[in-house]
Amino acid sequence: MNYYCCTCPAWRNQSAHPVSACTCKHLCSLLGDAYEESRLKLKNPNDPAVPTTTT
Ligand SMILES: [Zn+2]
C-alpha cells in the first residue's frame, strides 16, 4: 500500500478523488499539514486545492 487511508466519513467521502490523494484531519494531524498539502499536490496535481467542502 503506497497511500494513506482513514476510516472516518470525511476520508471516505472523497471517493471522487484518487484514493492516494485523499486526506482528512486525522492524516493531517498524523503527518502534518504541510506534508499532507505537498503530498496531495503530488498525487493529484490537477486538483487546484485540497478537497474540503464541495457545495
Ligand atoms: Zn480521518
Q: pLDDT digit string (tens) for 10-48?
A: 999 887 778 888 899 999 999 999 999 998 888 878 766
- Interacting residues of 30 by C-beta distance below 8 A, sequence separation 6+: 4
CA distance 29 to 15: 21
**Which three cell numbers mark 7?**
476510516
Residue 12 Cα to ligand 1 midpoint, Å, equals 8
Q: What is the mean pLDDT of residues 6-13?
A: 92
Residue 5 Cα to ligand 1 midpoint, Å, equals 8
Q: For residue 2, name the pLDDT band (cuts at 50, 70, 90).
A: confident
Q: For residue 50, name the pLDDT band (cuts at 50, 70, 90).
A: low
Q: For residue 49, name the pLDDT band (cuts at 50, 70, 90).
A: low
**Which three cell numbers mark 48?**
487546484
Q: What is the pLDDT of residue 33?
A: 94
Question: Amino acid letter at 51?
Answer: P
